[in-house]
Structures are given as C-alpha cells and as structure tokens.
Amino acid sequence: MIPFLMKKKQIFLFIFSSILSINSLFSNTEKIESDSLLKKDRIININKFRFGFDLSNPIKSSSNNDNFSYEIVSDLQLTDNLYIAGEYGSIDKLVEDENINFNSIGDYLKIGFDYNMFKNWVGMDNSIYIGLRYASSNFSNKVVSYQVRNIDAYFSNLVENDFETVNHENLSGSWIEIVTGIKVETFDNIYFGISLRLNKLLSDKKPENFDNLFIPGFNKVTDDNTWGSGFNYTITYSIPFRKKK
C-alpha cells in the first residue's frame, strides 16, 4: 500500500511540475511576443509634425516688384531619421529675358522624403539631411513684350515690337528634385533651415509655336539643358506628439 501511495505521489508531483513548466514557458513566450510587438511598434516613431513657410519667396517677389509669391513647407516624422516632406507654392513673376518679357503665374506641389544623417546629442533636435521630391506645376504665361529681328537692317536687326500681348494657358511641367539641407531648433519647437535643390525636368506641356522659358517651382528652362537649381530659407513650427526625453 505504501509503495503505491509513494508512486501516486511521484506521479502527482510530476504532473504538477509539468503544469508549472508549461505555464512558465507560455509566460516567457507571451513576454517575448510582447517585447517583439513593442519593438515592431517602435519602427514607426511619429514624434512630430512641422509646418511653416519659405522666407526667400516673399523677399524676392518684393525686391523684384512682382506680385506676392509664397511657399508652404511641412514634414512628418515616420522614424527616428525618416520624414515625409512636401512643399506647396504659388508664384506670380515677371521674367525678363534677352528678347522677351513675360509674366508667369502658377502653382506647384512637391512630395517626397528627407533622411536625417545627423546624430543628435541628448536634448538636441537638429538635422542635416538629404532628400528626394517629385514635383508638378500648373501655370500660364502672358507675353508682355518681345523683339523681332529684321534681317534687312544694316546697323541693327532688332526691332522693338508693337504687337498685342499673347496668353498661353493650361501649361504644366513635372520634375524630380535632389535635396540637401539643414534644420536647426533655434527656440523651443521653432526651426530655421536652408536647403539646396538640383532639379531634373521630366516633362512639360508647351504652347504652340512657343517654348516654356520658366516653370514655377522649377525656375528657368533652356533648350540646351533640362537641369535647374533652387534654394529656400525656411522657418517652421513643430507640433510634438511626444515629450522630449
């Protein structure tokens, strides 16, 4: 009888220890899965949304006696170093070329990303970044004055025009931009930045018997070169979604 009870007790202890082991295994598995989920959640790390405007456009339009032009800028943090970025602008500019003066009016939109390459110290939130944009513009050009060449003239073949103005409507262009720049948090949640842009024209809709010499957002266009450049000075305000550590 005693051996039987001893054997029964051993079986009971074995079953009990097995249950504890299984329970411990499940607990550890749940903990590992929970930690893994936390790590996965941290892949997307949306801490802030910044928005502001370009300071150079209003200054240039004012100094050139053009109508008011502006550019709104923004970015949304996706990870520690990756941001979705975009700009929207409107330009009303008088373009003076060698033989033609025209007024270019249009809007443009740029969408892409920035990648921060700067490792901040504790308490800092600055960035040195590179980025890429896809951009498109819709605009119109109004020819104000131009010159024609008189091949029969002896001293000069340039004749000032006395022709009526010409409107070219429903024009468009698209391009990509390679961007590099910096953003510095000068005050709490307020950033000053500068960026340089190298543009490559992809396509443009031209008027009949004419060419696009300027595309808002892209800047000057030439027959020999579809590359352009630009820059901006920005001030942005950050809406933080989490407290800084």
Q: Indicate the domain borders of the chain.
A: 1-43, 45-240
Per-residue pLDDT reduced to its tens digit, 78-110: 998 999 999 999 999 888 777 778 889 999 999
- The structure tokens 């921060």 sit at 116
- For residue 61, the model assigns a pLDDT of 81
Report the pLDDT value the prediction gives residue 243, as an integer from 0 to 100.
65
Q: Give me the residues of the chain with pLDDT under 70, please.
A: 1-43, 146-165, 243-245
Instruction: Locate 63 and state its tokens.
Output: 């100094």
Alpha helices per DSSP H over 42-113: 56-63
Whether the Cβ atoms of residue 217 and residue 228 lie closer than 8 Å to each other: no
What is the Cα–Cα distance from 116 to 114, expressed in whole angstroms? 7
Q: What is the pLDDT of residue 64?
A: 76
Q: What's the whole-model pTM score?
A: 0.75
Contacts of 236 by beta carbon, 8 Å cutoff, 6+ apart: 50, 51, 52, 73, 74, 75, 183, 190, 191, 193
At residue 241, the pLDDT reads 82
Residue 149 pLDDT: 60
* Gap between the Cα atoms of 229 and 245, Å rounded: 38
45-240 placed in CATH 3.40.50.2300: no
Q: Are 220 and 175 in contact (CB under 8 A)?
A: no
C-alpha torsion sign, points 195, 197, 203, 209: positive
3-state secondary structure of 9: helix
Q: What is the pLDDT of residues 175-191, one digit of tens each?
A: 999 999 999 999 999 99
Integer Cα distance of 220 and 229 in angstroms: 9
Q: Report pLDDT for 85.
A: 97
